[in-house]
């Protein structure tokens, strides 16, 4: 690779695009590389905060900041939608017809919600008795619906995987249990969690633990349910979700996590993505299979890891090293191991931590260090960790800071021996 001045273009200024740009800027002086970040809007939503909005535990205004302000000095910000990428001639085509040339491209355009792909989901009853909390508008509307829900069947339904933060729907169930208990209405609300999986979660140890927690809290679990149609119209009998094999679950209030896909421009970019428009990359180096000077990070990738901010952060450490190695003509390092961790809010001011990678679940250890709770154990400390994470996100994770002693900016279990 030529070691002259390089043009690095990063598509997406969400979690992955922002932390990558900031880390790269601190590694590469401005005379060596121009860094340009492109995003279609200037509203950076702290997505983990969406879980708390429906329960009145977060104000929608408090979880949004301007994207451009999260980028360090010396990084160009361009507010434009990407139309497509032509990896054959190193060009990004933007929606206004202009183009951007790159020497290295990093795709960080996340995952999009595809509610229109499920029959009836956005039809009658949408945003009246059928909601999602996976975007700011939906989470805000759901807050009003929960506050006025006097009783009946509350169904939380994951249509299909992959989804962002696969534990968030379970956290929603636990918080709903807490919310209605606090308001003295729990006996009047039946909560049912409906999932296409054969258990509460993808990873077996966590799944067993989470299933028994659902049972303890009186939350019904319906598994292997592949939602085909949502009937939200009260004129057509009781509102219900219906699976492809014609099972039904009635609801009075449905909270649906729609099908996810990659950004649509990926599908318009020859060779860049898979059938769901996720960018195909080597799962350990994060280099695209379309071209060696293209990389991807975060929810945009096809890697078999959770679509989570923690994963995006751990990927960022490997990705930035590999982009610098690529620019310097060195071999890439196959170091991303699928590491994911997340505090799971379990209600009543408690949370627990899960921590796993591609091969091992759970990773051994306690968090933080030896004084913390073992993995998969509920504690108030974990709940505080979950709440503090918002501060951490804006001030440590996005700026790309390392915490001395932790080695990375996210909690990492399995560090007991250090």
Question: Which tokens go with 35?
Answer: 């860094």
Check binding of 113 to ligand FAD (CB under 6 A).
Answer: no
Please choose, out of 46-54, 346-354, 371-379, 399-407, the segment that lies near ligand FAD by the rule CB under 6 A: 46-54
Check binding of 175 to ligand FAD (CB under 6 A).
Answer: no
Contacting residue, 9, 10, 35, 39, with ligand FAD by CB under 6 A? 39
Residues 188 and 55: their CA atoms lie apart, in Å, by 18
How many C-beta neighbours within 10 Å does residue 34 have? 17
The distance of closest approach from Cβ of residue 58 to ligand FAD in the complex, given in angstroms and rounded to an integer, is 11
Check binding of 305 to ligand FAD (CB under 6 A).
Answer: no
Check binding of 70 to ligand FAD (CB under 6 A).
Answer: no
Strands 253-257 and 104-107: unpaired
Q: Which residues, at least 6 apart from 22, have a Cβ–Cβ distance to it below 8 Å? A: 70, 71, 72, 75, 398, 399, 400
Check binding of 411 to ligand FAD (CB under 6 A).
Answer: no
Contacting residue, 6, 8, 9, 17, with ligand FAD by CB under 6 A? 17
Check binding of 309 to ligand FAD (CB under 6 A).
Answer: yes
Crossing angle between the packed helical segments 204-216 and 168-182, to the nearest 10 degrees: 20
Contacting residue, 1, 64, 81, 161, with ligand FAD by CB under 6 A? 81
Residues 207 and 167: their CA atoms lie apart, in Å, by 10
Please name the residue that has the structure tokens 């999009």: 112
Q: Concatenate the DSSP letters of all residues of 78-128 into one string.
A: EE--EEEEEGGGTEEEETTS-EEE-SEEEE---EEE-GGGSBTTTSTTBTT
The distance of closest approach from Cβ of residue 77 to ligand FAD in the complex, given in angstroms and rounded to an integer, is 12
* Smaller CB separation from ligand FAD, 1 or 394: 394
Contacting residue, 146, 300, 332, 413, with ligand FAD by CB under 6 A? 300
* Smaller CB separation from ligand FAD, 30 or 41: 41
Whether the CA torsion 398, 400, 403, 406 is positive or negative: it is positive
Check binding of 38 to ligand FAD (CB under 6 A).
Answer: yes
* Smaller CB separation from ligand FAD, 138 or 372: 138
Contacting residue, 126, 134, 201, 225, with ligand FAD by CB under 6 A? 134
* Smaller CB separation from ligand FAD, 32 or 93: 93
DSSP 258: -
Residues 346 and 330: their CA atoms lie apart, in Å, by 46
Question: Contact residues for ligand FAD (CB under 6 A)?
Answer: 12-17, 38-41, 47-48, 50-51, 81-82, 108-110, 133-134, 164-165, 168, 263, 265, 298-300, 307-310, 312, 342
């Amino acid at each position: 690779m030529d070691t002259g001045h390089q043009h690095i273009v990063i598509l997406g200024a969400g979690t992955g695009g922002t932390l990558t740009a900031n880390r790269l800027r601190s590694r590469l002086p401005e005379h060596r590389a121009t860094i340009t970040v492109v995003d279609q809007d200037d509203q950076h939503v702290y997505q983990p905060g969406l879980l708390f909005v429906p329960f009145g535990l977060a104000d929608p205004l408090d979880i949004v900041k301007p994207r451009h302000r999260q980028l360090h000095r010396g990084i160009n910000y361009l507010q434009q939608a990407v139309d497509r990428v032509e990896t054959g001639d190193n060009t990004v085509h933007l929606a206004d017809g202009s183009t951007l040339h790159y020497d290295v491209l990093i795709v960080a355009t996340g995952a999009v919600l595809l509610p229109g792909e499920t029959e009836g989901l956005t039809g009658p009853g949408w945003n009246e008795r059928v909601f999602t909390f996976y975007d700011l508008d939906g989470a805000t509307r759901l807050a009003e619906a929960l506050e006025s829900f006097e009783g009946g069947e509350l169904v939380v339904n994951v249509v299909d995987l992959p989804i962002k933060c696969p534990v968030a729907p379970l956290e929603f169930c636990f918080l709903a249990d807490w919310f209605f208990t606090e308001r003295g209405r729990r006996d009047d609300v039946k909560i049912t969690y409906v999932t296409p999986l054969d258990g509460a979660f993808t990873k077996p140890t966590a799944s067993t633990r989470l299933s028994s927690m659902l049972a303890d809290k009186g939350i019904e679990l319906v598994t292997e349910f592949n939602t085909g149609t949502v009937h939200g119209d009260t004129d057509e009998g009781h509102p219900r979700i219906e699976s492809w094999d014609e099972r039904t679950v009635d609801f009075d209030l449905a909270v649906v996590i729609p099908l996810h896909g990659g950004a649509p421009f990926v599908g318009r970019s020859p060779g860049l993505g898979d059938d769901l428009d996720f960018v195909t990359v080597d799962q350990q180096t994060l280099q695209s299979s379309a071209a060696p000077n293209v990389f991807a990070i975060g929810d945009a990738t096809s890697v078999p890891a959770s679509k989570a901010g923690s994963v995006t952060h751990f990927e960022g450490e490997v990705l930035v090293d590999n982009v610098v190695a690529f620019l310097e003509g060195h071999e890439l390092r196959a170091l991303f191991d699928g590491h994911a961790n997340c505090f799971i809010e379990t209600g009543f001011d408690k949370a627990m931590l899960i921590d796993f990678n591609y091969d091992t679940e759970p990773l051994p250890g306690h968090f933080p260090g030896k004084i913390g709770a073992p993995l998969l154990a509920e504690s108030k400390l974990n709940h505080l960790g979950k709440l503090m994470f918002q501060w951490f996100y804006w001030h440590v994770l996005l700026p790309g800071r390392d915490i001395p002693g932790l080695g990375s900016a996210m909690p990492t279990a399995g560090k007991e021996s250090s």
